[in-house]
Amino acid sequence: MANCYGMAQGVDKNRTRKVTFLGSEGVEACATTRHTFVTVEVQKDGSGHVEVERDGLVLHEFAFGPEEVV
């Protein structure tokens, strides 16, 4: 059974295309332009990492810990 769900969507003038995927350990996704790269990782425990890079320089980076079990 998959523990993680990922979704990506591309938007054109006349249409929107969506893809989904499942992962048992985690999901990873990226979005890019010519100079800007964004990567996202989320693990099955809820922890993850987001990074924004432009022209080889990391502009933003954010890591977050696992979900709390209540």
Q: List, for residues 9-31, the tens digit of each pLDDT value.
A: 899 999 999 999 899 999 999 99
The yes-or-no verdict on residue 3 having pLDDT over 90 is no
pLDDT score of 31: 93
Which tens digits make up the pLDDT trace of 32-59?
999 999 999 999 999 999 999 999 999 9
| Alpha carbon distance 48, 21 (integer Å) | 17
Beta carbons of 41 and 26 less than 8 angstroms apart:
yes
pTM higher than the cut 0.75: yes
Place of tokens 């998959």: 2
pLDDT score of 1: 56
Residues 6+ apart with CB under 8 A from 47: 63, 64, 65, 66, 67
The yes-or-no verdict on residue 2 having pLDDT over 80 is no
65 vs 14, 18, 33, 50, 62, CA distance in Å? 39, 28, 28, 12, 10
